Structure 1
Amino acid sequence: MMTTSRLRTGIAGLDEMTGGGFIRGDTTLITGPPGTGKTTFGLQFLMQGISEGESGVFVTVEEMPQKIASDAMNFGWDLKRLEAEKKMRLFHLRSEMLQAGGAPIMQCLDIVNAIGAKRVVVDPISLYSLNVGNPTDLRRELYAFVNYMKESGLTLVLTHEVPDIITRVSRISDYGLEFIVDCIIMLQYVEIESEIRRSISVLKMRGSDHDKAIRRYKITDRGVEIEARFEGYEGIMSGTARKTGAQAFIEAFKR
């Protein structure tokens, strides 16, 4: 019986949620509103790979590479040193490249092949999509890119930004991204008793069982750390949590 090769993510608690880590060669989508740590998730995944001898490429569509490197130092990740050691590369998909047409996302493949990368992060794919006017062309480009990664045995992480800070989940994208990827991880803000918390859930994972719970997470000086599930609350995915009937009864009884 063939065993599935797993990659540790470097994110405390996420390997447990995904049944042992990401499946090698799969594409994972990390989606959420601004400030939920999508870039940090991507970088942390690359840092884990580098610690295990797997080089990586971080494709930035929004921030300048200098800003990415500066922010990474807050977590102790020296990207400039790693680039000098040819363990990783920062690749900037600049606006003029996006506007030139001709599937610009494929231009990062030369960098991927040059350093023999095993892990690739594109951050955020949602901004890339804004520069491709035709949804059919966009789906074709992304499908070709994801297929190339899969056929080459590369593990890909895409981040996708949703505009609303707190919103009821309806769909991931307007161009069928959820059907292209193998795994979807959703990051959200949740309001609980007039306080904003962060939640994480694994919505989809092909070929593997996964944790169905909605868990808390925080961003520390070590990166992302996943905590316990939300106990005694419902309506987490709507953005405004409320205590379950049982929890409300218990608290009323205590009073």
Structure 2
Amino acid sequence: MTTTRLKTGIPGLDKMTGGGFLKGDTTLVTGPPGTGKTTFGLQFLMHGVLESQSGVFVTVEETPEKIANDALNFGWDLRKLEAEGRLRLYQLRSEMLQSGGAPIMQCLDVINSVKAERVVIDPISLYSMNVHDPNDLRRELYAFVNYMKENGLTLLLTHEVPDIMSRTSKISDYGLEFIVDSIIMLQYVEIESAISRSINVLKMRGSSHDMAIRRYRISGKGIEIEAPFEGYEGIMSGTARKSGAEAFMEAFRR
């Protein structure tokens, strides 16, 4: 059976993921504040627009106006694309989250209105904080993800980890890691008293993927993935140290 791949629009990520995201899959992008999760989602949608694939960006935290203004820093005119019917910004407001029911399912009307092929929800972690019953939350997310999959829509969820230098592999308290098809982790890494950013693909169901932990940067064009960390270990702990061989060679050179 052939599978359709969607290019991500993030330089270096398609190679890491074996050619891009699988059409109809759900990807979770997790990381602490400031690691570029929102930028990641917008970049994925923008590339879809270039490929004639309409998209919807669902914001749970910021207003659509703030998202649109911030996107201009990367040269992405979201309001123009909205006017052309190629993209929609939609906000799940606090009163909707507190009204009970399954407000995430209300996004479907917007998604269907533009015949979206790519959907981003940013951040799903804030949405989960407003659904007090974990069982209700799991049912809502399962139903939403299943709808996406059944209709061939590719979904990207962002999830905020509260700790800046996180040392835990736990993704969420409600089993989100088991619902999604792929997990991409963004982290801060301390190396010799300086902070770098790292990205790695933790999980990609039904596809081989790069296991390396790579550097990335956020430029005026968005996220750009760079070379793997070499000569260091403990990257995922947040505090990297030189590997045994590298430390030995450095001592030898002295």
Bin of the TM-score, shorter chain as denominator length: over 0.9
Q: Summarize the alignment of residues 99-110 of structure 1 with structure 2, pairs less than 5 Å apart.
A: 99-110=98-109
- TM-score, length-scaled by structure 1: 0.99
Provide the C-alpha distance between the structure 2 equivalents of 1:99 and 1:124, rounded to a whole number of angstroms: 16
The one-letter amino acid of 1:64's match is T
Provide the residue aligned with 1:210 in structure 2: 209
Partner of 2:95: 96
* CA shift for structure 1 position 6: 0.2
Aligned to 1:124: 123
Paired position in structure 1 for 2:142: 143
Q: Are positions 1:29 and 2:33 aligned together? A: no
Deviating beyond 4 angstroms after TM superposition, the runs of 4 or more aligned structure 1 residues are none
Matched position secondary structure for 1:19: coil
**CA-based RMSD:** 0.6
Q: In structure 1, the residue corresponding to 2:188 is in which secondary structure?
A: strand
Cα deviation, 1:145-199, whole Å, max 9, x if unaligned, reads 0000000100000000010000212310000000000000000000000001000
Aligned mates of 2:249, 2:46 — CA distance in 1: 44
Distance 1:203 1:48 in 2: 23
- Segments of structure 1 that go 5 or more residues without pairing to the other structure are none
Q: Deviations over 1:204-224 (max 9, x none)?
A: 000000000000000000000
What is the CA–CA distance in structure 2 between the aligned matches of 1:23 and 1:170, rounded to whole Å? Answer: 24
Q: CA deviation at 1:250?
A: 1.6
SS of 1:198's equivalent in the other structure is: strand
Offset of residue 88 of structure 1: 0.1
- Sequence identity of aligned pairs in percent? 78
What is the Cα deviation at residue 254 of structure 1? 2.3
Pairing 1:164–2:163 present: yes
Report how far residue 15 of structure 1 moved. 0.4
Q: Distance in 1 between matches of 2:90 and 2:215?
A: 32
Q: Does 1:77 align with 2:76?
A: yes
Q: What displacement does 1:252 show? A: 1.9
**Residues paired across the two proteins, number:** 254
**Which runs of 5 or more structure 2 residues have no equivalent in the other structure?**
none
Relative to the length of structure 2, the TM-score reads: 0.99
